[in-house]
């Protein structure tokens, strides 16, 4: 059959909680190797691994022009997840390498984590926990979700999921922003469409749900953070690089903002100065890491690999619009 075809699985963990994707490869006599470094690969590490493989089932590692030049057999990049900022789509297009992804699979888990972070920061749960471990006893005042103004920037799959969850928390005032006004949102939710500047200024919580593009990289800098309320909260479960991390550290070090929750970083694993800020909640890019959503991501990405290697049509192929974003440098 297709015994000579080989798949490199770079994202880890993989098949740890659900063996279905590995069973799928094995039942189709497809050889595979799982990332032997057991961490997010650097460009040079990936370049050294990729040469003999027909398909990469990829995480967030950078699949650059240089990496693709080293991958003489590569014909499909199957992304486990939604973000495409790590893949040079234009180089892939030039080399006739297909790219697919799993945009729906991670959304429920990321949306839930986002709301969990809102609750945690509003009640200073993270700070109380760290202080209790140090033997300190302090009862923090906080706010309820129904009593605050929440600004959501980016109303795609995850942003909509957050809105759905917020319906269960009374009637918070919600400001939203996206590249265009969406009628389905107006029909379903009680929201006010606002500029980013209005959201920064008026929100108690600002939650980001954007792709990383040329337009959104370092979108939130020191002046934007300082325009927020002194006791406001900012949450990023979308992509590292959207908030300027150095500016966030400087602003929080000064005492501005009551909290931040950051799940994604410009460089991962993260080892930067935000670790010094007790009221800054840091998590290890775990937004999609619920057992069910992670399994769905892995299975869908593997299904694409099997379809490709067995001559079937891809179902999760990246749209032309995503290529156009990179083409225009947005």
| Active-site annotation holds for 268 | yes
DSSP 57: E
Looking at 126, 209, 285, 296, which residue is catalytic?
Answer: 285
Looking at 250, 268, 307, 317, which residue is catalytic?
Answer: 268
Looking at 79, 224, 239, 296, which residue is catalytic?
Answer: 239
Structure tokens at 224: 């934007």
Please count the residues of the chain. 330
DSSP 317: B
Alpha-carbon distance of 242 to 213, in angstroms, equals: 9
Q: Which residue has the tokens 């969850």?
A: 165
Alpha-carbon distance of 325 to 102, in angstroms, equals: 18
The CA radius of gyration of the chain, in Å to the nearest whole number, is 21
Decide: 240 and 264 in contact? Cβ < 8 Å: yes
Structure tokens at 89: 């789509």
Q: What is the crossing angle of helices 107-122 and 157-166, to 10°? A: 50
CA 27 remoteness from chain centre: 31
Catalytically active residues, by annotation: 239, 268, 285
């Amino acid at each position: 059959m297709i015994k000579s075809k080989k798949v490199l699985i770079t994202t880890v963990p993989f098949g740890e909680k659900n063996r279905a994707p590995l069973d799928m490869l094995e039942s189709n006599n497809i050889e595979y190797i799982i990332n032997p470094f057991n961490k997010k690969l650097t460009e040079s590490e990936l370049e050294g691994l990729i040469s003999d493989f027909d398909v990469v089932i990829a995480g967030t590692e950078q699949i650059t022009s240089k990496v693709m030049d080293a991958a003489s057999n590569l014909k499909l990049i199957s992304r486990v997840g939604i973000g495409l900022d790590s893949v040079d789509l234009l180089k892939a297009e030039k080399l006739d390498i297909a790219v697919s992804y799993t945009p729906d699979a991670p959304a429920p888990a990321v949306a839930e984590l986002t709301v969990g972070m809102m609750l945690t920061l509003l009640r200073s749960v993270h700070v109380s926990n760290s202080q209790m471990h140090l033997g300190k006893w302090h009862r923090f005042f906080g706010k309820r979700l129904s009593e605050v103004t929440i600004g959501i920037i980016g109303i795609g799959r995850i942003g909509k999921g957050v809105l759905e969850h917020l319906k269960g928390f009374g009637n918070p005032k919600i400001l939203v922003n996206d590249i265009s006004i969406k009628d389905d949102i107006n029909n379903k939710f009680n929201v006010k469409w606002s500029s980013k500047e209005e959201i920064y200024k008026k929100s108690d919580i600002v939650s980001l749900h954007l792709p990383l593009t040329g337009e959104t990289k370092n979108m939130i800098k020191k002046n934007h953070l300082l325009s927020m309320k002194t006791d406001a909260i900012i949450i990023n479960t979308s992509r590292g690089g959207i908030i300027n991390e150095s500016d966030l550290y400087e602003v929080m070090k000064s005492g501005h903002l009551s909290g931040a929750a950051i799940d994604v970083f410009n460089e991962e694993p993260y080892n930067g100065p935000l670790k010094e800020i007790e009221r800054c909640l840091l998590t290890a890019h775990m937004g999609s890491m619920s057992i069910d959503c992670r399994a769905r991501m892995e299975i869908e990405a593997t299904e694409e690999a099997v379809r490709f290697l067995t001559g079937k049509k891809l179902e999760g192929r990246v749209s032309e619009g995503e290529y156009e974003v990179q083409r225009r440098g947005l």
